Amino acid sequence: MAMDTKNVIETRGLKKTFLDFWRRPTVEAVKSLDLTVRQGEVFGLLGPNGSGKSTTIKMLLGLLHPTGGELRVLGARPDDMRAKARIGYLPEVSHLHPFLTPRETLRYYASLFGMTRVEAAKRTEELLAMVDLAQASDRAVGRFSKGMARRVGLAQALVNAPELLVLDEPTSGLDPIGCREVKDLVRILAKTGVTVLMTSHLLADVEDVCDRVAILDGGVLRAEGKIAELLRQPDAVRFLIEGLDDEAAESLRLELEARAGRRVRQDYPAMSLETFFLQVVAKEGRARDFALAPFLARPAAGQREGGTCAEA
Ligand SMILES: Nc1ncnc2c1ncn2[C@@H]1O[C@H](COP(=O)(O)OP(=O)(O)OP(=O)(O)O)[C@@H](O)[C@H]1O
Ligand SMILES: [Mg+2]
């Protein structure tokens, strides 16, 4: 099948076999993977531990060389530096320099993209405020909690205002407020035209935020599609009625049963534990309204001008 380079990510028959010291194949981590991710989509890559998610991501980013198959990212090969400048990546484990503060870390990454000092400083302050680290911006990241370090990693992935954001388990180590904020961030970025590829083991988070998912197992694609279509139960229908007391509800249920000629079940919708937690925390005044860093709030990718990144 021909590759469609208009897609943000396109792989055909992508393979990765790891070799041992004597160049003998040890693990077939990814076996003939066909994936397509379109512009503006939030795409979830799911699968059990060791199923090949991180390996796939590393091949897309040019960090691992595929054993076989083809791939294009933003229309280019993964080793194309111009394409790399348009990608943001949060690795599964962030390798932050322990002696740098978040402010120094972000300014350093901004400088790698060839930004002026003024632009780098502006983006750094906006990102620190966005990930709620302004208070801790002068402490060394080596002493940060897991969730705080994750926030630095997330800010770092966004410093170049990427068109494609690749997040390997972005919510791992974050508290429910942090998880909610990451999900809000992803949805808001997608609205500005950013394409997001993410992995997560927290399926409720994936369900909340992704448009499409692929499920890998043993390096093989087992299922793929729009979440709404994959999860829909076509042979059942559910009504939601507000403000009925128990008696009225029961009489309506019996009436429906008589009309439909089949059993009608009734239940009471519950809020998610996440919603409940966030309500409780909001009452204590700890939750905050999430706001996108102003420099990221741009028109969709197709309408953008060149940007400030150096074409390395
Ligand atoms: N550098 C490497 N050398 C040898 N084998 C590797 C290497 N990296 C990954 N693997 C193997 O490839 C397989 C897929 O690993 P990968 O990290 O892609 O899984 P994953 O789906 O990201 O899992 P997790 O959910 O635990 O993060 C595993 O069997 C793993 O041991
Ligand atoms: Mg992984």
Question: What is the tens place of the pLDDT at every residue in 16-25?
Answer: 999 988 888 8
Q: Is 284 exposed, middle or buried (CB count within 10 Å of its CB: 0-12, 13-18, 19+)?
A: exposed
Residue nearest to atom 26 of ligand 1 (CA): 49
For position 210, what pLDDT does the model report? 96
User: Angle at which helices 176-191 and 273-283 pack, to 10 degrees?
Assistant: 110
Ligand in nearest proximity to the CA of 46: 1
Res 238 pLDDT > 90: no
Residues with CB under 6 A from ligand 1: 18, 27, 29, 47, 49-55, 92
Task: Find the 202 Cα to ligand 1 centroid distance in Å.
Answer: 19
> Which amino acid is it at 300?
A
Res 305 pLDDT > 60: no
Res 187 pLDDT > 70: yes
Ligand in nearest proximity to the CA of 214: 1
Residue nearest to atom 27 of ligand 1 (CA): 49
Q: What is the mean pLDDT of residues 167-173?
A: 92
Q: What share of the chain is helix, strand, coil (3-state, %, to 5)?
A: 35, 20, 45
% of residues, the chain, pLDDT over 70: 93
Res 300 pLDDT > 70: no
Local confidence band at 13 (pLDDT 50, 70, 90 cut-offs): very high
Q: What is the mean pLDDT of residues 130-158?
A: 93
Task: Find the 47 Cα to ligand 2 centroid distance in Å.
Answer: 9
Residue nearest to atom 24 of ligand 1 (CA): 49
**Ligand 1 atom at shortest distance from the alpha carbon of 57:** 18
Local confidence band at 269 (pLDDT 50, 70, 90 cut-offs): confident
**Alpha-carbon distance 80 to 83, whole Å?**
6
Res 306 pLDDT > 80: no
Tell me which residue has tokens 């559910």: 238
Q: Would strands 9-19 and 42-46 be described as parallel, antiparallel, or unpaired?
A: unpaired
Residue nearest to atom 30 of ligand 1 (CA): 50
Please check whether the domain covering 9-232+270-303 is classified as CATH 3.40.50.300: yes
Res 309 pLDDT > 50: no
For position 5, what pLDDT does the model report? 62
**Ligand 1 atom at shortest distance from the alpha carbon of 64:** 1
Task: Find the 15 Cα to ligand 1 centroid distance in Å.
Answer: 13
Task: Find the 170 Cα to ligand 2 centroid distance in Å.
Answer: 11
pLDDT tens for 52-96 read: 999 999 999 999 999 999 999 999 999 899 999 999 999 998 889
Range of lowest pLDDT (257-266, 272-281, 299-308) = 299-308
* pTM, to two decimals: 0.88
Q: What is the mean pLDDT of residues 2-16?
A: 87
Pocket-testing residue among 53, 61, 167, ligand 1, by greatest number of atoms within 8 A of Cβ: 53
Res 284 pLDDT > 80: no
For position 299, what pLDDT does the model report? 58
Res 304 pLDDT > 60: no
Edge-to-edge strands, sheet with 164-168: 87-90, 164-168, 195-199, 42-46, 212-217, 220-226
**Alpha-carbon distance 12 to 36, whole Å?**
9
For position 194, what pLDDT does the model report? 95
Task: Find the 91 Cα to ligand 1 centroid distance in Å.
Answer: 13
Ligand in nearest proximity to the CA of 91: 2
For position 237, what pLDDT does the model report? 86
Q: Would strands 68-73 and 87-90 be described as parallel, antiparallel, or unpaired?
A: unpaired
**Alpha-carbon distance 18 to 260, whole Å?**
58
Pocket-testing residue among 26, 51, 198, 213, ligand 1, by greatest number of atoms within 8 A of Cβ: 51
For position 302, what pLDDT does the model report? 46
